[in-house]
Structure 1
Amino acid sequence: MPWFEPAPEDAGLLRRRHLVLVEDPALVDKALRRKQVVRIHRGIYKEGEAPDDWERAWSACATVGGCDAVASHRTAARVLGIEVPDGGPDEVTIPRAERRIHRADLRFHTSVLASDDVVDLNGLRITSVARTLVDLCRTEEEYRAVWAVERALARELVTTTALDAALERCRGVPGVKRARLLIGRARPLSQSPLETAGRLALVDDGLEEPEVQMPIRRADGREALVDLAYREQRRGLEFDGRSEHGMEMAVFEDRTRENQIVLRDITILRFTWFDVFRRRPQYLRTVREAIGA
């Protein structure tokens, strides 16, 4: 339809106020019902197909109105390739003096952002990788935030120097002490969110921090990595994720690998999501008994 013409400054997206200037509002609503256009955020639409992460972030900022908004937190993380859970409302940061009521699809944060904490990504104002990770560590569940930092470091999306600088710029910002603590707990060798959660639970319970991805020579001569290990006590902890280990071949390979490790006089304790999150006291007690703590 010829009237689906985005304004040049609108990144290929459509604003309702532009649409109703050139067409009857009832026809705009009909186009929405027919899914010729899809709503992204209040007053922001896209023709035909669902928006990508960048378009969602751009529309989240554009729908605010009245002040400068910067894509941040989970919304920024998705655009920047930082691993965070799917779903939930988009998030933007606005100046501290502004006030906005949260919407079902949009959450507002207020903060003073230094120039080094904001980057321009093809016309989208978005928090830098370092500032985004600091914000996640201020607001997200502990193991999710630490895992996001671990993956970003492992993939070289950010450096520890950049994280330290972002923390320094955030002095006085609520939650920055927590962010500093969680960033300090990140171990880039970690291979899964469950492994990270299991390690953090042990440390929070006062146990010595286990070694991450400890290498060991198997009985058949090949090298293996144990998820978490107490080297001196010769105890290893292995964590079964929800998807990979639900497959028969993955389970078979794990058992073969585990048997080879045991033959090297390393006792393997195996845990699942259910153990770490739903039966945490039993998980902690089992590990304590195993290492004689």
Structure 2
Amino acid sequence: MWCDAAALILPAGAAISGASAAYLFGARILARGAAVTVTVPPPRRLREQERLRAVHQQLPHGDVVSFGGLPVTSPARTAFDLGRQVGRRAAIVALDALLHRRLVRADRLAAYAMRRSGWPGVALFTARLAEAEPLAESPMETLLRLLITDAGLPRPAAQYDVTTADGRWLARVDLAYPDLRIAIEYDGDHHRARDTHRHDIVRERRLKGDGWLVLRFMADDVHRTPDQTAQIIAAARRRSTAQGVSAVRVSSTP
């Protein structure tokens, strides 16, 4: 509704952009109550209002598409803008979400950025794109992964299908260290539902029966006690290494 309203006052050549564009494309990264972001190419100007944030920046014709009758920055331009924003973690959350929905591809985004080598923040965007993970299924999974790597731990594999030595499928885990048989799971609120909780218990039992260690974390572990969470994962890695854990056959989900 607010995007429809913003479109009514956009000057020619302007478009809905940033997290607002991502939201329209189906990437749920927009904060509740956030203002609509629009990009307005110079020399045109648009005054910001309470529910409207205006960015005045170049906007080539090819960077604008029509979506539901609204002018919106293309998926590539949307990713480029969000990947250059000030907050690194928010930028990578956005890139993960857009890549996961297959709105963009990492190689094409890299090529897109190269064609805009003189633009502000290109080096920043390129560095963040290297940290992005198309298999991440939620912003909290992304934040948990970044918590791990920011603590100096190896980057875990995302959305791994775990199979036994004889090829029997056991489960798909959010994050994993396959060589150490460590599964790292983020449990959102929906995991508290009775059926989901029951499924989680059965699933975890299968993994543990095959020699996997399962570490489960919630929002507070990521937002309130990140250092402690990283320490738990680091300690688990040390124990598994000391015990000489051998890997089961694990394959990533394409």
In the superposition, the TM-score normalised over structure 2's length comes to: 0.82
CA offset digits 1:200-248 (Å, max 9, x no partner): 11112221101112222369x4431121111222222111012x11212
Task: Name the aligned partner's letter for residue 155 of structure 2.
Answer: E
Measure, in 2, the Cα distance between the counterparts of 1:155 and 1:92. Answer: 22
Measure, in 2, the Cα distance between the counterparts of 1:191 and 1:249. Answer: 20
State whether structure 2 residue 158 is matched by structure 1 residue 234.
Answer: no
Task: Name the aligned partner's letter for residue 110 of structure 1.
Answer: H
Q: 1:212 aligns with which of 158, 170, 181?
A: 158
Q: Secondary structure of 1:232's partner?
A: helix
CA offset digits 1:96-146 (Å, max 9, x no partner): 445555321100112112332122346533210011011112227444433
Q: Secondary structure of 2:118's partner?
A: coil
Runs of 4 or more consecutive aligned structure 1 residues displaced over 6 Å after TM superposition = none
Q: Does structure 2 retain, via aligned residues, the 8 Å contact 1:218–1:261? A: no
Unmatched 5+ stretches in structure 1: 1-50
Q: Secondary structure of 1:287's partner?
A: helix
Q: 2:116 aligns with which of 167, 170, 195?
A: 170
Q: 1:158 aligns with which of 104, 110, 115?
A: 104
- 1:270 is aligned to 216
Q: Offset of 1:262 from its aligned partner? A: 0.7
Identity %: 33
Measure, in 2, the Cα distance between the counterparts of 1:147 and 1:76. Answer: 15
Larger Rg: 1
In the superposition, the TM-score normalised over structure 1's length comes to: 0.72
- Highest relative contact order (Cα 8 Å, sep 6+), 1 or 2? 2
Q: 2:77 aligns with which of 116, 128, 131?
A: 131
Q: Offset of 1:175 from its aligned partner? A: 2.9
Task: Name the aligned partner's letter for residue 185 of structure 1.
Answer: E
Measure, in 2, the Cα distance between the counterparts of 1:152 and 1:238. Answer: 22
Q: 2:24 aligns with which of 79, 82, 87?
A: 79
Q: Secondary structure of 2:34's partner?
A: coil
Q: Secondary structure of 2:133's partner?
A: coil
Q: Does structure 1 retain, via aligned residues, the 8 Å contact 2:184–2:216? A: yes
